[in-house]
Every structure is written in C-alpha cells, then in structure tokens.
C-alpha cells in the first residue's frame, strides 16, 4: 500500500529529525529534568481512606502522578483554555443575581450594564432592562441572552488560540498510516465534547468529520454520502491524495461509560449499559462498511475503529481490529491499565509497552480471538492515540485527582445543528446533530431531559444554540441556511411548546461560513 503519495502543496514538509513523529510522545530532551521516582504507594491504595482512590495511580502524599510520555506544556495550555471558557459561563448566574438585587434602583439600567461589562465582557439587551420597571426583571430571558452572548464571545476568543495548529502534521501522520480521511462519530453526551482536542489530542482540522449522535448511532446513509464526497474530491482535485494512492477512509465510533457509577451515569441513550452501547456502535460500523462495499465494490472499502471512553477519567479503551479489519468487544487495550503499568518507566520503555499492549490484545484467545494483527498503519494509529491519551489521563490526575468531580451531566447549553468547532470542552454542551427536528427527535429529547434536571427544575431555561454552516461559494446558500435556522427554531419551540410558553426554552440562532476561522454571524429571530 502506498501511504506516502501526498501533494506537497497541501502539506508542509516535515523538519528532518527535529521532533518525533506526530503523536508519539514527548521529545526526549524534555524529559531529562523529570525525577525518576516510583509513584505507586506501597499497598497500591490511596493513603487517605476518606478520599476516593485515584483510578489511574495511587501516589505518596502530596506528590502527583508523572508519566514520562505526558506533554505537560499542552496540558497547561488546555487547562487555561478550559478554565477561561467554563469560568465565563459559570459567572452568568452570580452576575445576574447581583443585577437582580439592584433592579429597583433609579439608575438600574446604567448599573446593570456596568456590572455586565465588567464581569461578563458584554452589555445586556437594553429592552429587557428598560421593561424592568413595569414588572420584575425577566431573568429567564436575560439568562438565555447571556448564555448566547457568552457563547459568541468565547468563540471569537477561541479563534485566537489557533485550534488548527498542527493540522498539517496530523494529516501527514494519518496519510503515513494509510488514511486519507478520519471521520469520528461520538455520542452526543456533553462529557465527550472534548473528545478530539482533549481526550485524543488531535488538531481540529485533521478530522474529516466529527458529527455526534445520541448513543453514537450515526446515520449510515448520511455517512455514505460523506464518503462519496470525500472520494470525489480525491478523483477531481487530488485532495488530500489522489485516488490511486492506496489509502483508506477511517470511520471511528466512540461510546462511553462511567466507572464511578456505571448503572446511572453511563450513556443515557443505551440506559447506562456499556455492553449495549459498545455492541450498538460496532453494529453501526459494520453496517457502514457493508454499505460501502455493497454499493461501490471494486476495492471500495473502509477501515473502522471502535473506541470507548470512561467519562470519569477520560481514559480510552481501543478495540483492536484483526488482520481482516474485524473488531471484537473482548479484544482491546485499556489505556488506564497501560498508564499504571508504564508510569514509573522511562520514555523508551513506556513507548515499547504501548506497542506490546497492542500485540498482546491481537494475540488474545477465547471470545476475543481474531485472525491476526491489524496492518502496520492501524497499529501505528492506535499507538499514537493511546500515547496521546496518556497526557489526558495525567491531565485529569493533576487537576482533579484522577476523577472528575462532575461525573454526571453539567452542560451549559444544547448545541443544535453543525456545532461550534471553536468549543471542544467536556460538559460544555450537549450536541444534537440534525437536519430536521423530526429526524433528530431522539437527540433533542435526550438533551431536553438532561436540561430539565440541570436548569428547568431550578427555574432556569434550557438554552438552545442553533448553528448551521453555509458555503459562500454557492449562490444563495447563506440565505437558505438562515431560513433553515428559523425553521428549526420554530420546530423546536413547537415540539416543546410547554417549556417555550413558560420562558423555559431560549433559542439563539447563528450561521457561519465553512472556511476555517470564519466569524459567527447572529441571525435575528422573526417577530410574529
């Protein structure tokens, strides 16, 4: 298989021997100052019996885990980004409480705007403030507006951080592994919202698509269409490689579970049953591959990969395909076990153990037995994902003691449509990808159920951010996309009319050009 046929006009040349291949760990030079001390407690348990043990490792008092392959610089950058974005959303309620306390003052409007500018970074809707003298301040409408404005403000700031940095290197790595496109379908659960940037540590632009669906139950027909578009681009434009390059399309499904409370905080779409979730994801992958092979034959094929995520720790479980690209629920590499096994090693030994773990999974017998090892490109890709995820495991260990405090849902808004590429953060948004509300009803129903517990029970509305992308190269595309936003908004308000009439459902609408870095454009609601 030719995996290196890529046009240099699309990918920058790689600096020779200046760094290790993308995703294969930290440069050795960055590890020299790291103390090589064992981090496991003598009994292998937490020293404080009142604190839940760290699921990744148990350390001496006051000393965190330190894995030799962790990218600590990236961990610090991602932490700063997460605290900034989530802190901005979490500041809304305290600020509104402060504003509510001065709503009967004579200079209320001026004081409220001054507080909002200082604490939130934007002004509040003037009409809502101006009407406060007639009746009490409409806090539900004000809350919804604050969420939507914070969303747009954070998106603008996120673009400055250049989320597409490293895209060329990642695409080159995928091509070297034999894949011209990587398409990921995770569950729409908000705890997987940081899947690409955090859990897998991949640049946004390197992934062909990452549409989320409830229970990871992606639309097979829509994904076949996306495959056709990708292959047509290769035939017509040679992007990212020409059609004779011998590379493949990789389809990935990501399911999840909760190791702390597996029967209640797992995937809601599969009733928190991790086995059902994994089986359903594998079945959908097989249907997709079969659809491609049945429809196009003549060598048309795809590779598939099933990944599980423990949303309490962000550790992944990769189900290793065999030589025939078939997967098995009992043949996998559990990365949290790999972390424990290699945390005391030097970098070279730790990398070796990653590859040995993949080989051991391929050689398993019994129910997990397969027909040999996957091809070299797949092995290299799996090793890269496992190593990247080691940094995320340590990210959770360093900042949250190995397990997130919010093991359940804690999303700030429901994202409907194409989603915001600028936001890749755990528990920031519940994502419902849909073309029409009727088609995406299961996803929306789960999202409303989640926000009924998070917001509605406390008198706050469920914020719904409707966002679709358009192609400015296509005449009239923006206008049709705006109409689509209006249509989806009306359908959502009609489906959940009881919430909408009580002010417990707030919908904001935005559109955005498909070009990377394009600004988010506000769509005004049509007044009846």
Domain shared by 381 and 438, yes or no: no
Domain shared by 387 and 415, yes or no: no
Q: Which three-class secondary structure state does DSSP give residue 440?
A: coil
440 found inside a domain: yes
Burial group, residue 32, by CB count within 10 angstroms (0-12, 13-18, 19+) = exposed
Domain shared by 308 and 390, yes or no: yes
Domain shared by 435 and 505, yes or no: yes
Note if 183 is an active site residue. no
pLDDT at 166: 77
Residue 424 region by backbone torsions, left for phi larger than 0, else alpha for psi between -120 and 50, else beta: beta
pLDDT in tens, 364-413: 999 999 899 999 999 999 999 999 999 999 999 989 888 998 888 889 99
How sure is the predictor about 47, in pLDDT bands with cuts at 50, 70 and 90?
Answer: very low
How sure is the predictor about 207, in pLDDT bands with cuts at 50, 70 and 90?
Answer: confident
Pair 374, 323: CB distance under 8 Å: yes
Highest mean pLDDT: which of 120-124, 159-163, 230-234, 313-317?
A: 313-317
**What's 132's DSSP letter?**
G
Among residues 359, 375, 400, the one where a domain terminates is 400
505 found inside a domain: yes
**What's 124's DSSP letter?**
P
How sure is the predictor about 136, in pLDDT bands with cuts at 50, 70 and 90?
Answer: confident
pLDDT above 70 (res 144): yes
Rounded-to-integer distance, Cα 252 and Cα 387, Å: 18
For the chain, what is the mean pLDDT? 84
Domain shared by 439 and 343, yes or no: no
Number of domains forming the structure of the chain:
2
How sure is the predictor about 220, in pLDDT bands with cuts at 50, 70 and 90?
Answer: very high
How sure is the predictor about 162, in pLDDT bands with cuts at 50, 70 and 90?
Answer: low
Catalytic residue from among 189, 303, 312, 418: 189
Pair 329, 275: CB distance under 8 Å: yes
pLDDT in tens, 485-499: 999 999 999 999 999
Strand order in the sheet with 505-513: 429-432, 413-417, 462-470, 505-513, 520-523
pLDDT at 160: 62
Tokens found for residue 22: 């993308």
324 found inside a domain: yes
Among residues 366, 400, 434, the one where a domain terminates is 400
Domain shared by 344 and 382, yes or no: yes
Among residues 380, 400, 420, the one where a domain terminates is 400
pLDDT in tens, 342-358: 998 999 999 999 999 99
**For 125-135, what is the mean pLDDT?**
84
Domain containing residue 495: CATH number: 3.30.1330.140
pLDDT at 154: 87
pLDDT above 70 (res 163): no
Domain shared by 215 and 296, yes or no: yes
Q: How many CB atoms lie within 10 A of CB 490?
A: 15
pLDDT above 60 (res 99): yes
pTM: 0.84
Tokens found for residue 507: 């919908």
pLDDT in tens, 410-428: 899 999 988 787 778 899 9
Domain residues for the domain of 188 are 167-400
356 found inside a domain: yes
Q: By C-alpha distance, which of 413, 417, 411, 414 is closest to 510?
A: 417
Q: By C-alpha distance, which of 278, 266, 276, 280 is closest to 311?
A: 266
Domain shared by 415 and 334, yes or no: no
126 Cβ contact list (under 8 Å, min separation 6): 109
pLDDT in tens, 2-18: 444 443 334 433 343 34
């Amino acid at each position: 298989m030719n995996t290196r046929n890529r046009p240099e006009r699309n990918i920058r040349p790689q600096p020779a021997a200046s760094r290790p291949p993308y995703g294969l760990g930290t440069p050795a030079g960055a590890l020299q100052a790291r103390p090589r001390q064992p981090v496991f407690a003598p009994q292998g348990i937490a020293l404080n019996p009142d604190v839940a043990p760290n699921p990744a490792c148990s350390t001496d008092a006051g000393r965190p885990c330190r894995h030799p392959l962790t990218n600590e610089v990236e961990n610090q950058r991602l932490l700063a980004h997460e605290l900034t974005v989530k802190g901005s959303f979490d500041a809304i309620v305290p600020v509104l409480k402060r504003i509510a306390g001065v709503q009967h003052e004579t200079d209320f409007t001026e004081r409220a705007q001054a507080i909002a500018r200082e604490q939130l970074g934007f002004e509040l809707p003037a009409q809502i403030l101006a009407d406060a003298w007639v009746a009490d301040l409409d806090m539900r409408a004000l809350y919804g507006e604050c969420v939507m404005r914070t969303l747009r403000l954070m998106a603008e700031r996120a673009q400055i951080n250049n989320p597409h940095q490293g895209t060329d290197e990642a695409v080159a790595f995928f091509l070297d592994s034999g894949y011209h496109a990587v398409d990921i379908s995770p569950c729409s659960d908000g705890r997987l919202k940081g899947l690409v940037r955090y859990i897998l540590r991949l640049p946004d632009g390197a992934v062909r698509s990452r549409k989320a669906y409830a229970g990871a139950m992606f639309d097979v027909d829509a994904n076949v269409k996306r495959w056709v578009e990708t292959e047509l681009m290769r035939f017509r434009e040679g992007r990212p490689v020409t059609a004779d390059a011998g590379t493949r399309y990789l389809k990935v499904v990501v399911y999840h579970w909760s190791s702390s409370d597996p029967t209640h905080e797992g995937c809601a779409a599969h009733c928190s049953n991790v086995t059902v979730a994994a089986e359903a994801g594998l079945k959908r992958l097989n249907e997709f591959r079969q659809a491609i092979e049945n429809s196009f034959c003549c060598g048309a094929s795809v590779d598939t990969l099933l990944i599980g995520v423990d949303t309490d720790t962000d550790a992944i479980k990769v189900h290793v395909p065999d030589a025939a690209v078939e997967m098995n629920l009992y043949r996998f590499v559990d990365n949290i076990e790999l972390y424990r096994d290699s945390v005391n090693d030097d970098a070279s030994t730790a990398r070796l153990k990653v590859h040995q773990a993949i080989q051991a999974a391929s050689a398993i017998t019994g129910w997990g037995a397969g027909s040999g090892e996957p091809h070299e490109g797949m092995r290299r890709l799996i090793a890269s994902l496992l190593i990247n995820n080691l940094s995320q495991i340590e990210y959770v260990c360093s900042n949250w003691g190995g397990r997130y405090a919010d093991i359940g849902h804690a999303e700030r808004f429901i994202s409907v449509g194409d989603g915001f590429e600028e936001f890749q953060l755990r528990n920031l948004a519940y994502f419902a990808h849909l073309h029409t509300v009727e088609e995406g009803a299961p996803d929306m129903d789960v999202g409303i159920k989640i926000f009924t517990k998070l917001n509605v029970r406390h008198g706050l509305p469920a914020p719904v951010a409707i966002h679709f992308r358009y192609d400015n190269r296509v005449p009239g595309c923006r206008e049709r996309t705006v109409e689509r936003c209006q249509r989806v908004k009306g359908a959502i308000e009609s489906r959940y009319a009881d919430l909408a009439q009580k002010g417990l459902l707030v919908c904001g609408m935005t559109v955005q050009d498909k070009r990377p870095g394009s600004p988010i454009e506000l769509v005004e609601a049509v007044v009846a």
